[in-house]
Structure 1
Amino acid sequence: MTFSRRKFFAVAGATAAGTLAISPLEGLLAKKAFGQIGTGYGPLLPDPNGLLDLPEGFQYRILARTNDIMADGNPVPGAHDGMAAFEGPGNTTILICNHELSNNSATQVIVPNRYDPICRGGTTTLVIGPNRKLIKQFASLGGTIRNCAGGPTPWGSWISCEEDVSVPGSGRTQFHGYNFEVPASATEPVTPVPLIAMGRFNHEAVAVDPKTGYVYETEDRGDSLFYRFIPNVPGKLAEGGRLQALRIIGRNGVNTTTGFTVGQKWDVDWVDILNPNPTSDTVRVEGRSLGAARFNRGEGIWYDGKGAFYFVATSGGPVNGGQVWRYIPGEEKIDLFVESQSRNELDMPDNLVVAPFGDLILCEDGSGEQFLRGVTPQGELYNFARNALNTSELCGACFSPNGLTMFVNIQTPGIIFAIWGPWKSRR
């Protein structure tokens, strides 16, 4: 899809007073409601290197590729996925990157202190200079499986999530399906500690409420739940806590894939998960028996810095093209913020980030061409980047602490980009 053929999709309005549903057939309504329709950052320009198409004025630098040799002497593993950036010493940026590697993957994260000897997933940490050039990269977590996404914490660490619920056997020595914490300050591989109380399930991503220390968690399954973890000691997740699942009041056990109107707010409460660490994959089954709401493949989640959390249901909506939900903990309400009405307008968003300038940036993981899609607070969809190399997903979008650089991956063959340009020029 070229930018000139961009479309609009259903999205909640930016104010609590009213909402609008915008579809490809309602451009005139959108123009009347929002004024002159903008064009994001303009059309995407073909990349002469055939890697990443961007708008005029934006540029990128490749930071690392699969099989580059890292500072620890080992090759960069593949299957890049979720990431987050942290402020480092000496005006550096610390970037922690997941590697969604299975036990039969061609590459692996090599560390001496593996969680499970046979397992190939984990994280690498990159130290990036103020000139956006790589200073060093090293493995920081190993012996896990399918580290898909995760999330940054306010206390300066990355929570890496296993999207796998394997049990001991066939060479595996550990149970899987846990979260692991990697401090941004780590200069060598961390000792892997499973955060058992946060639940054993197909984890995807997390986001932390800086006001309470509560951690919100998504689950990548067709019948997934939306969870929160209340730690016994905020900021010390390994010390245990309580796991809960979200319930929509008056809609016990509802499947949210269809039947919800964009912008309509629903009151919610939470049900306690009494067995967060079962030997079989039954956390969501217990939650559903208590009336928890079902979401169609919960994936990316991000805190907007203003009191709301946005999270993706990758296969939600009438065409299974994706939804973005918004949860507001201060009000204990949830609403459907974005819903794809056509795979041409939005094709299965996965990771997401709330940009410093207020837009959502959605990483697509559908079929065919893969885009980074922007969503303005006024409800406009625009293309920000296109994978010009292949049809592998774009993933891990995040911003540097100063908001000037976006980092993103092409998952296969595994390339990490730094992107910068006139962020304030969105029209």
Structure 2
Amino acid sequence: MDRRSFITSMIAFAGPFAGVACAGERGGARPVSGYGPLKPVADRRDGKVRLHLPEGFAYRSFSAAGDEFGDGTLVPGRHDGMAAFSGPDGSAILIRNHEVNGPVGAFGDKRRAYDRMAGGGTSTLRVSRYGEVLHSAPSLTGTMMNCSGGPMAWRAWVSCEETVNGPDVADDHTGGDNSRLRRKHGYIFEVPVGRAATARPIRSAGRFAHESVAFDPSTGALYMTEDNFSFPSGFYRYLPPKHPVQAGRLLDGGRLQMLAVKGARHADLSAGQRRGASYETVWVDIDDPDPTFTGRPANDVAVQAVGRQGREQGAAIFARLEGAVFHQGVVYFVSTQGGDTAPGDKAPSGFGDGRGQVWAYETWSGRLRIAYESPRSSVLDLPDNVTVSNRGTLVLCEDGDGANYLRGLTTSAELFDFCRLEPIPGDPGAEFAGSTFGPGGHTLYVNVQAEHGRSIAIWGPWERGPF
């Protein structure tokens, strides 16, 4: 077993992840086998090796960039966040983001696009348990930088725009010409299962660099993460005017709030955490969730406009919040660059010096706990999207500088390797994204985000390990 398969700390209190110790030299090492060593496995689609998996697991890739949807239009690239819903005859209905930036033109039917010039959005597919595409179509078009989001209890997906681009804001660092855009961006959008989205933004949920959403069915609140690459990020919640399950959809006109640590203004939670760290929290209101910009301010100014309102009231600071998932009263969310730089490791670019944290927010008590903190890049390197298995084990998608893995984090904070991405020639930035278990847990669907991205169905002897 190589060192990447070793736990670097584990200390459990009451309940899954509750009070878990930080990783690194602060805790003792403990070996975890997971599903065993990884080996190259050929894709059932075409025989090419794209993944390294444990013995007994197989996969098929599908709906790659450039393939055709059922209507004959082309699948865009940059596959990102995704959720699976139950479909007929044991199939899964997948709703999948495409994180496309710039005024490159909408895919699919431009008449249904939110902004005819924006190239991001979502696609909806019905697939078998073995990755065979039964139906596919665009479902939300004309949005931009659709990074992650989250599944909703009323059979819908909420897609997040990780940008504030628009004709009222100066160009971002990618070089796109924002003056060519027709609409403001930076919102969340609801995408129902079984029909196309209305393409109406939920403006009261804020205009900022949204990353992901986790829904609490007991209260109707949506918990949202913010991924500001170069600046502090915040953890938010949106309180709709009516419980979405009762309304049958997500309504605009609610209240946006940002998390703060009780008794500690501007708590810097991006830094390394002590063993068993936990915090009492409060929420501060955002008075202007959808700011109007005049004079085309710099993109770096506009992207901080909502978060700055919260920080002025003492909201907590995180480093690049990305994936989030709700499970049994807890929202688990990932701080991609949270923590401290380990000796011998290089600090990542952007805001935050660490290699990743996993946080646990108890919606019923308001307590925030550290669940795991990477001690160094060789153990866990910049976690991104996250999902949860039926057993409560988290699946972490890496977005690291070297080889990228799917890693499992058990409720006892045991970290193990499950899958490694075979390097893609000419595309060193390729990464995993959008992991989600299908109905019954037979299949783990995941995306490879790349210039020519694709989705993948993985199946095998799950009962043999922690998933």
TM-score (normalised: structure 1): 0.92
Corresponding residue of 1:230: 239
- Indicate yes or no: 2:313 matched with 1:314: no
1:362 is aligned, of 396, 399, 406, to: 396
For residues 162-198 of structure 1, the C-alpha deviation after alignment (integer angstroms, 9 at most, x for no partner) is 0110122511111110001100121xx3220001011
Alignment of 1:216-295 (within 5 A): 216-221=223-228, 222-235=231-244, 236-279=249-292, 280-281=302-303, 282-295=305-318
Alignment of 1:366-381 (within 5 A): 366-381=400-415
Classify 1:255/1:26 alpha carbon distance in 2 versus 1 (closer, same or farther; 3 Å). closer
For residues 131-154 of structure 1, the C-alpha deviation after alignment (integer angstroms, 9 at most, x for no partner) is 542101110110011000000000
CA distance in 1, matches of 2:34, 2:199: 42
- Indicate yes or no: 2:40 matched with 1:46: yes
Classify 1:357/1:333 alpha carbon distance in 2 versus 1 (closer, same or farther; 3 Å). same
Deviation at residue 38 of structure 1 after TM alignment:
3.4
Corresponding residue of 1:345: 379
CA contact (8 A) 1:10 1:262 kept: no
Classify 1:153/1:196 alpha carbon distance in 2 versus 1 (closer, same or farther; 3 Å). same
Corresponding residue of 2:348: none
CA distance in 1, matches of 2:122, 2:108: 10
CA contact (8 A) 1:9 1:338 kept: no
CA distance in 1, matches of 2:321, 2:10: 18
For residues 346-381 of structure 1, the C-alpha deviation after alignment (integer angstroms, 9 at most, x for no partner) is 100000011112211100011011100111112211
CA contact (8 A) 1:363 1:373 kept: yes
Classify 1:224/1:5 alpha carbon distance in 2 versus 1 (closer, same or farther; 3 Å). closer
Classify 1:108/1:421 alpha carbon distance in 2 versus 1 (closer, same or farther; 3 Å). farther
Q: Secondary structure at the match of 2:113?
A: coil
What percent of counterpart residues are identical? 41
Total equivalences in the alignment: 416
2:460 is aligned, of 386, 411, 421, to: 421
1:299 is aligned, of 322, 346, 352, to: 322
Corresponding residue of 2:135: 136
Deviation at residue 19 of structure 1 after TM alignment:
4.7
CA contact (8 A) 2:59 2:130 kept: no
CA contact (8 A) 2:233 2:319 kept: yes
CA distance in 1, matches of 2:410, 2:59: 23
RMSD: 2.0
Q: Which amino acid aligns with 2:255?
A: R
CA distance in 2, matches of 1:255, 1:131: 44
Corresponding residue of 2:191: 182
Alignment of 1:387-426 (within 5 A): 387-390=421-424, 391=428, 392-412=430-450, 413-426=452-465
- Indicate yes or no: 2:212 matched with 1:212: no
TM-score (normalised: structure 2): 0.85
CA contact (8 A) 1:197 1:240 kept: yes
Deviation at residue 30 of structure 1 after TM alignment:
5.0
CA distance in 2, matches of 1:143, 1:67: 18
Deviation at residue 72 of structure 1 after TM alignment:
1.1
For residues 183-242 of structure 1, the C-alpha deviation after alignment (integer angstroms, 9 at most, x for no partner) is 0121xx322000101111000000000111100000001301100011111114234211
Deviation at residue 327 of structure 1 after TM alignment:
0.1
Corresponding residue of 2:164: 165
CA contact (8 A) 2:20 2:372 kept: no
CA contact (8 A) 2:54 2:418 kept: yes
CA distance in 2, matches of 1:294, 1:145: 25
Deviation at residue 341 of structure 1 after TM alignment:
1.1
CA contact (8 A) 1:354 1:360 kept: yes
CA contact (8 A) 2:5 2:32 kept: no
Corresponding residue of 2:21: 21
CA contact (8 A) 2:203 2:252 kept: no
Question: Unaligned regions of 5+ residues in structure 1, if any?
Answer: 32-36
Deviation at residue 258 of structure 1 after TM alignment:
1.3
Q: Which amino acid aligns with 1:371?
A: Y
Q: Secondary structure at the match of 1:372?
A: strand
CA distance in 2, matches of 1:262, 1:275: 37
CA contact (8 A) 1:12 1:338 kept: no
For residues 377-418 of structure 1, the C-alpha deviation after alignment (integer angstroms, 9 at most, x for no partner) is 122111100001334111100111211110001111211000
Classify 1:388/1:104 alpha carbon distance in 2 versus 1 (closer, same or farther; 3 Å). farther
Classify 1:11/1:285 alpha carbon distance in 2 versus 1 (closer, same or farther; 3 Å). farther
CA distance in 2, matches of 1:265, 1:315: 19
Corresponding residue of 1:34: none
Q: Which amino acid aligns with 1:152?
A: P
1:324 is aligned, of 314, 333, 358, to: 358
2:206 is aligned, of 183, 199, 207, to: 199
Classify 1:225/1:10 alpha carbon distance in 2 versus 1 (closer, same or farther; 3 Å). farther
CA distance in 1, matches of 2:148, 2:459: 23
Alignment of 1:29-40 (within 5 A): 29=28, 31=30, 37-40=31-34
CA contact (8 A) 2:106 2:116 kept: no
